[in-house]
Amino acid sequence: MKSYDDGAFTIDEGTWGFQSFDREGRKIILSATEWECEMWTRRWIKAQQEGWTDSRVVNDGKVAGKL
């Protein structure tokens, strides 16, 4: 597990790719590459700091209602 920004988040490599976690251990971003995971996690954290609260799921992994 690799820590970023003085422990603001960590990234762990798993079977399905790279998963980031916040300081409390909650999952944030799952991505195919470590670079993408780091980039999107940083953007997500910045959006949270700026007051973004939209919780819509952009891609939930379903196609026509099926996994």
Higher-confidence position of 67 and 5: 5
Q: For the whole model, what pTM was predicted?
A: 0.70
Which pLDDT tens digit goes with each residue over 32-47? 999 999 999 999 999 8
Strand partners, 9: 4, 22
Buried/exposed code over 8-33 (b: 16+ C-beta within 10 A; e: otherwise): ebbbeeeeeebbbbbeeeeebbebee
Which pLDDT tens digit goes with each residue over 15-28? 989 999 999 999 99
pLDDT for residue 52: 75
- At 11, the amino acid letter reads I
pLDDT for residue 8: 87
